[in-house]
């Protein structure tokens, strides 16, 4: 009787092996289901990206607003007659080589010196936020935008 029980138990184990650990077993099925779920998530992200790209292509084909937005943002272009003003954060130095002609024109001329020396040195001008030079756009031309530097 013990021998029969042992043989049946071994046969049951041999039958269960392919079900759990074999080529098409449950562990393999669970792993494949996990991979399918990951791929579905990846596909959904790619579908959303494709839809956004298709909408952008349609907008570029149909309207000029998207083209103008790209020209302004990526290429730094502006319409004729527009003035580009770049306000720098406080305590920031203007870029090297920037002409501050607008600042020079706004300052009053230096007072003429008298023969008597001054009792104390002249006070420094009050600090004000630095701003990039204001440059008017070029003369009206055939193109609708000109690059800004």
Each residue's pLDDT tens digit, 47-79: 999 999 999 898 888 878 888 888 888 888 888
Flag whether pLDDT at 118 surpasses 70.
no
Each residue's pLDDT tens digit, 9-43: 888 888 887 777 777 788 888 999 999 999 999 99
Rounded Cα–Cα distance for residues 120 and 124 (Å): 12
């Amino acid at each position: 009787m013990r021998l029969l029980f042992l043989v049946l138990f071994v046969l049951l184990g041999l039958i269960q092996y392919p079900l759990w650990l074999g080529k098409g077993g449950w562990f393999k099925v669970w792993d494949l289901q996990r991979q399918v779920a990951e791929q579905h998530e990846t596909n959904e992200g790619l579908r959303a990206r494709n839809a956004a790209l298709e909408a952008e292509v349609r907008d570029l084909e149909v309207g000029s607003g998207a083209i103008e937005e790209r020209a302004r943002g990526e290429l730094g272009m502006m319409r004729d007659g527009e003035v580009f003003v770049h306000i720098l954060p406080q305590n920031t130095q203007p870029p090297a080589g920037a002409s501050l002609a607008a600042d020079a024109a706004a300052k009053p001329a230096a007072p003429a010196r008298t023969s008597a020396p001054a009792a104390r040195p002249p006070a420094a001008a009050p600090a004000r936020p630095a701003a990039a030079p204001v440059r008017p756009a070029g003369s009206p031309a055939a193109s609708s935008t000109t690059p800004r530097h």
